[in-house]
Amino acid sequence: MPPPFLEGAVDALKSFADYAAGAVRPTLRLGVTGLARSGKTVFTTALVHHLTNVTPMPVFRASAEGRIRRARLAPQPDDTVPRFAYEEHLAAMTGPDRQWPQSTNRISELRIEIDYERPPGWRSGPATLALDIVDYPGEWLLDLGLLDLSYAEWSRATLEASRRPERAPLAAAWHAHLATLAPDKPAVEAEMVTASDLFKAYLSALRAGPEAVATTPPGRFLMPGDLAGSPALTFAPLDLPPGMAYAPSSLAGQMERRFEAYKNRVARPFFREHFSRLDRQIVLVDVLAALDAGARAVGELEAALDQVLHAFRAGRNTLVSSLFAPRIDRVLFAATKADHLHRSDHARLDAILRLLVERAIRRSEGAGARVDTLALASVRATREASVREGGERLPAIVGVPCAGERVGDEVFDGRTEAAIFPGELPDDPKAIFSGAVAPGSLRFPRFRPPLRTADAAGRMPPLPHIRLDRALEFLIGDRLA
């Protein structure tokens, strides 16, 4: 790896090149991320769908004022980044089977060129904005925190977290193997592979359990891609006494070497090539899954979101920062799956999310960045109704639950529409930390994508949504003015 000062010079030159290119053709790089199962792929697909179809969107001012003339897909600028499979994902949601697309497990990119009219004024007239959408797993963000840690520091923090009462049972097999290892003895490849596999099994158990909304780095361990089986992804924490010395050929020495390779060959290139070049960012959050899992999962989500925003270089851009070290000047946190609640609960959902990112918001706004929250559904899969339960009229949502989904004793077949009372969120968002929402008390089955019906002229309506237009206005509206 080049020395840090040379890496910084290279990064500065890349930032300058991006700035120069943007001066010739205005460009905005939008990052789309979120932790597991937050709806990143659906959001990006819906955004592209509405922009390229020039869907009228009331809160998105350039659209509401009729100033967007057309938007089209264009060749993406980065030839080594996979293209976001927009057409495939849209077909999955709108085809006969109406299936949600596969989750994001790698970085991908798409460029949309938006031709628009500037509003009346001294700069009025036609213009074009190139919008580069960079979709990537939120787990990768947490890897950026590793860059400032030594192997010993990371081992100590990870082991300490794994021994907490709620996590220890999930880590039992890994801990048992760990107790058989001597860090200062010569490294044995079979022991390293076993330790790494058991550690990855622990990470998988965390994701499958109540902490599915949070994550423990390294993020690529569960999304290895073409790095599967490589030494850079075959390491694990060790119990290292403070100040312990060990040889490079020892077990600890080899684990440390692989940890550093992960930082230098996986985490740092992601930051340099992609993350540091973003202008705007949306972070999608499955708040409902955390609420349904209980107060402990909500606490894990709060900590994860704080780490996520801490990784951002958020702040107001100056000429110098724009040239050499651009910052993310707008960050939007969005609580997804708002269509799983009646609209009377949407403000409560937004308030809960704002509470979870309150510290992060203060930090970013202090640096000059704009940060906001909202509750949205990128694609609305339900409609609202009311049901009678125990002589009381309750607000409900109506949709087609996916096959195998369960509410109480009822298991759905994937074809039958159902009216469901999802439960209610507390008026005071702070109550979520004191057990106001009992685990399992909310009813949030997964619904199939909506069935659309053509009008008399044979035209298909756009995909329904909740507040996607507000998200677009916050993220790109000022660049279309």
The reply to whether 29 falls in a domain is yes
The reply to whether 418 falls in a domain is no
Note whether 473 and 344 are same-domain residues: yes
Note whether 284 and 369 are same-domain residues: yes
Note whether 170 and 126 are same-domain residues: no
The pLDDT tens digits for 358-380 are 887 877 777 778 889 999 999 99
Note whether 254 and 294 are same-domain residues: no
User: What pLDDT band is residue 279 in, cutting at 50, 70 and 90?
Assistant: very high
Note whether 227 and 130 are same-domain residues: no
Note whether 95 and 240 are same-domain residues: no
The CATH number of residue 300's host domain is 3.40.50.300
The reply to whether 107 falls in a domain is yes
pLDDT recorded at residue 214? 55
The pLDDT tens digits for 24-65 are 579 999 999 987 789 999 999 999 999 999 999 999 999 999
Domain boundary among 244, 269, 294: 269
Note whether 282 and 219 are same-domain residues: no
436, pLDDT greater than 50 = yes
3-class DSSP string for the chain: CCCHHHHHHHHHHHHHHHHHHHHHCCEEEEEEEECCCCCHHHHHHHHHHHHHCCCCCCCCHHHHCCCEEEEEEECCCCCCCCECCHHHHHHHHHCCCCCCCCCCCCCEEEEEEEEEEECCCCCCEEEEEEEEEEECCCHHHHHHHHHHCCHHHHHHHHHHHHCCCCCHHHHHHHHHHHCCCCCCCECCHHHHHHHHHHHHHHHHHHHHCHHHHCCCCCHHHCCCHHHCCCHHHCCCCCCCCCCCCCCCCEHHHHHHHHHHHHHHHHHHHHHHHCHHHCCEEEEEECHHHHHHHCHHHHHHHHHHHHHHHHHCCECCCCHHHHHHCCCECEEEEEECCHHHCCHHHHHHHHHHHHHHCHHHHHHHHHCCCEEEEEECECCCCCEEEEEEECCEEEEEEEECECCCCEECCEECCCCCCEEECCCCCCCCHHHHHHCCCCCCCCCCCCECCCCCCCCCCCCCCCCCCECHHHHHHHHHHHHHC
Identify the bridge partners of residue 71 per DSSP, sorted by sequence position.
114
Note whether 245 and 308 are same-domain residues: no
The pLDDT tens digits for 176-229 are 999 999 999 999 999 999 999 999 999 999 887 655 555 688 988 988 877 888
pLDDT recorded at residue 287? 93
Closest CA to 281 of 220, 338, 224, 328: 328
Note whether 25 and 85 are same-domain residues: yes
Which residues, 6+ apart, have CB-to-CB distance to 170 below 8 Å?
Answer: 162, 202, 205, 206, 209
* Lookup: tokens for 38: 């937050």
* Lookup: tokens for 56: 């009228």
**Tokens 């339960």, residue?**
389
Query: Mean pLDDT across the stretch 267-279?
Result: 88
The pLDDT tens digits for 137-188 are 888 888 888 988 999 999 999 999 999 998 999 999 999 999 999 999 999 9
CA–CA distance, 305 with 214 (Å, rounded to integer): 8
Query: Mean pLDDT across the stretch 386-390?
Result: 80
Note whether 234 and 286 are same-domain residues: no
Single-letter amino acid code for the residue at 368:
G
The reply to whether 327 falls in a domain is yes
Note whether 246 and 324 are same-domain residues: no
pLDDT recorded at residue 300? 83
Better-scored residue on pLDDT, 55 or 388: 55
As a whole number of Å, the end-to-end CA separation of the chain is 43
- What phi and psi, each to the nearest 5 degrees, are found at residue 374? -160, 165
Domain that holds residue 171: 147-269
Radius of gyration of the chain (CA): 24
pLDDT recorded at residue 381? 97
- Burial (CB < 10 A; 0-12, 13-18, 19+), residue 241, is exposed
pLDDT recorded at residue 324? 43
445, pLDDT greater than 70 = yes
* Lookup: tokens for 402: 């996916």
pLDDT recorded at residue 306? 81
Better-scored residue on pLDDT, 110 or 6: 110
pLDDT recorded at residue 46? 98
66, pLDDT greater than 60 = yes
Considering the chain, what is the average pLDDT of its residues?
A: 88
Note whether 65 and 101 are same-domain residues: yes
291, pLDDT greater than 70 = yes
20, pLDDT greater than 50 = no
C-alpha distances (whole Å) from 461 to each of 48, 55, 109, 456 are: 15, 9, 26, 11
* Lookup: tokens for 12: 């500065």
Domain boundary among 212, 239, 269: 269
Q: How many domains does the chain have?
A: 2
User: What is the length of the chain?
Assistant: 481
User: What pLDDT band is residue 246 in, cutting at 50, 70 and 90?
Assistant: very high
The pLDDT tens digits for 80-89 are 999 999 999 9
Domain boundary among 227, 246, 269: 269
